[in-house]
Amino acid sequence: MRRSSGFTLIEVLVALLLGAVGLLGTLAVQQAVIGASKTANDAAVALRLASQKLEEFNTVLTAGTIATSDAGTNYVDQFQSLGIANGNWNPDPSGPPTYLNAEGNQLPDGTANATPEYRWARRWRVANVGSGQPYVISVTITYHMDTGSPKTIRLDMERRKSW
């Protein structure tokens, strides 16, 4: 008996199985890339929000002339006069942090709980480490990843008391 040309049913099924395994592998790689991209985006947003707060602290006057008296020049330090340099996390260390969205806008209406859009929690601390020493400024951003596990990014900066 002579065999006619073509593929047998088993050969076709094996080829389909190999193709399906290849497609599933490709889908798994794509999902991993998309997940890594989301994680990198969230980290970039957190880093930008922390940098934004440090830039705000760069504009704070740490020694400025406010008056000249017979005794000499008096200086004001905005970190001290605003009550920022107390070494505590700000806002109130026992209270909730400031929740922000990706654009840096605060959670509206004073709501204390994070939402999926406002998931970046920002806290900062300005520590006065002593006379003649710089201020130590720390900004911490905490956010939850899709898995629910928290991720924290912290930036620190030293700021001279006069310049």
Given a contact cutoff of 8 angstroms between Cβ atoms, the answer to whether 160 and 133 are in contact is no
- pLDDT range class, residue 63, cuts 50, 70, 90: low
For the ranges 11-20, 76-85, 148-157, the lowest mean pLDDT is seen at 76-85
Instruction: Note the pLDDT of residue 132.
Output: 76
Boundaries of every domain in the chain = 9-159
pLDDT in tens, 92-148: 445 568 888 899 888 877 566 778 888 899 888 887 777 778 888 888 999 987 777
CA distance 119 to 46: 10
- CB burial class (10 A; 0-12, 13-18, 19+) of residue 95? exposed
pLDDT in tens, 23-56: 999 999 999 999 899 889 999 999 999 999 898 8
CA distance 44 to 153: 10
pTM over cut 0.85: no
For the ranges 70-74, 81-85, 135-139, the lowest mean pLDDT is seen at 70-74
Cα–Cα–Cα angle for 109, 115, 121, nearest 5°? 85
